[in-house]
Structure 1
Amino acid sequence: MEFQNVVNNRHSVRDFSDQVVDHQTIKEIIALAQKSPSWVNSQPWKVYVATGKTLQNIKDAYVKKDAEKGYPDFPVMHRDDWSAETQKNMQQWRHEIVHHFENFDEAHEKMSSASTHLYNSPAIVFVTIPKNSSLWSVFDAGAFCQTLMLAAKDKGLDSIPTYTSVRFPDVIRQNMDIPDNETLVIGLSLGYAKDVTINTYRSKREDIDDITKFKD
């Protein structure tokens, strides 16, 4: 696929089909993501792939804990404390999501159900970095994850990175044998999108002139 098409066609999918993603394809995607840059080639990331019975165990545990407040390894800041610019984008997103469905109740039910059931993902790639990492390793992990999602799209797979997937890190550690000296950064759901309304939404982006400044 042409690079521009890969970038333009990648979007967050919130309801995956039951079609299995084979391990070899995932390994090939991870191998491409390994080309990502990192501080002094530190390559701080580790990758844990949950599929099949293991992933189902995680999903079942998350459903049981859904009413609990999450406690991810990275602290979560209340949305009211974000900058005015980012709050504006988040509010626009929420407004557009609601109007993408017939009504607010339908939008709330679909989004909540998708989150609770981890988007029916057939595979989730959990990415960690060492707990004694430099803060710059977060940037490295982000570059790795973005490359992984683009590589997935190039192979016809859809994806979504989610806070939801890592909000109960003890569940993930127990099921994936992740050691305590690693910080659970994010979970990337991989799979094939269902042909449903929730997957047709595309979020808007700020105008390039509003985010870019040239100074010669």
Structure 2
Amino acid sequence: MEFKETVNNRHSVRDFKNQSISQKTLTEIIKLAQKSPSWVNSQPWKAYVAMGDTLNEIKNEYVKRASEKGNPDFPVMHRKDWSLAAQENMQQWRHDIVHHFPNFDEAHEKMSSASIHLFNSPAIIFLTIPKNSSSWSIFDVGSFAQTIMLAATDKGLATIPNYTSVKFPEVIRQRMNLPDDETLVVGISIGYPTDTTINTFQSKREPINDVLKFKD
């Protein structure tokens, strides 16, 4: 796949086929992502892949705790505290999702159910960085995550990086045997997408003139 096509095809998918991914394929994706840049080549990231029975246990526990408030390692800021521009983008995103479905109730039900069930993906890649990392390591692991998602797209797989999967870090630590000295950053659900309405939604991007500024 051409690079431009890979970038344009990558979007967040919220429902996956009940089709497993080989460890060989996942290893190839992570190995390629290791080419990502990091501060003085610190490579602070670690990747833990949940599959099979382990992932099913995580999903079942998350369904049981669906109504509980999360306590992720990275604190969550209320949306009203975000910048005005970010709030406007989030409002546009919600508006577009609702109008992507026949009605609001269906949109709410599909999106909520997908999140609660961790998008039914056959695998989730959990990314961590050391607790004593520099703040720059957050940038580094973000670069690593993006390369994972592009590499997955290139192989015909789909992904969604999501807060939901790290909402209850104690569950992930127990099931995945995460070291106590690592911060759980994000989970990337990965798999083969189903042919459903929820997966055809692609969020809009800001006009390039609102993002890019030149000064000679």
Q: Distance in 2 between matches of 1:180 and 1:115?
A: 26
Identity score, percent: 71
Question: Residue 194 of structure 1 aligns to a residue in which SS?
Answer: coil
Q: 2:86 is matched by which residue type in structure 1?
A: T
Q: Distance in 1 between matches of 2:201 and 2:143?
A: 24
Aligned residue number for residue 137 of structure 1 = 137
After TM superposition, the structure 1 = structure 2 runs for residues 65-214 of structure 1, keeping only pairs within 5 Å, are 65-214=65-214
Deviations 1:118-161 (A, max 9, x none): 00010000000000000000000000000000000001100000
CA-CA distance at 1:42 after TM superposition: 0.2
Question: Residue 43 of structure 1 aligns to a residue in which SS?
Answer: coil
Q: Distance in 2 between matches of 1:17 and 1:97?
A: 22
Q: 1:60 is matched by which residue type in structure 2?
A: N
Q: Distance in 1 between matches of 2:126 and 2:77?
A: 21
CA-CA distance at 1:180 after TM superposition: 1.0
Question: Residue 6 of structure 1 aligns to a residue in which SS?
Answer: helix
Aligned residue number for residue 44 of structure 1 = 44
2:7 matched to 1:7?
Answer: yes
Q: 2:89 is matched by which residue type in structure 1?
A: N
Q: 1:205 is matched by which residue type in structure 2?
A: R
Deviations 1:48-81 (A, max 9, x none): 0000000000000000111100000000000000
Q: Distance in 2 between matches of 1:22 and 1:122?
A: 10
Query: What count of residue pairs does the alignment treat as equivalent?
Result: 216
- Normalising by structure 2, what TM-score? 1.00
Q: Distance in 2 between matches of 1:62 and 1:98?
A: 25
Q: Distance in 1 between matches of 2:47 and 2:12?
A: 20
Q: 2:168 is matched by which residue type in structure 1?
A: F
- Normalising by structure 1, what TM-score? 1.00
After TM superposition, the structure 1 = structure 2 runs for residues 49-60 of structure 1, keeping only pairs within 5 Å, are 49-60=49-60
CA-CA distance at 1:175 after TM superposition: 0.3
Q: 2:6 is matched by which residue type in structure 1?
A: V
Aligned residue number for residue 34 of structure 1 = 34
Deviations 1:25-58 (A, max 9, x none): 0000000000000000000001100000000000
Q: 1:18 is matched by which residue type in structure 2?
A: N
Runs of 4+ aligned residues of structure 1 deviating over 2 Å after TM superposition are none
Q: Distance in 2 between matches of 1:127 and 1:144?
A: 9
Q: 2:166 is matched by which residue type in structure 1?
A: V
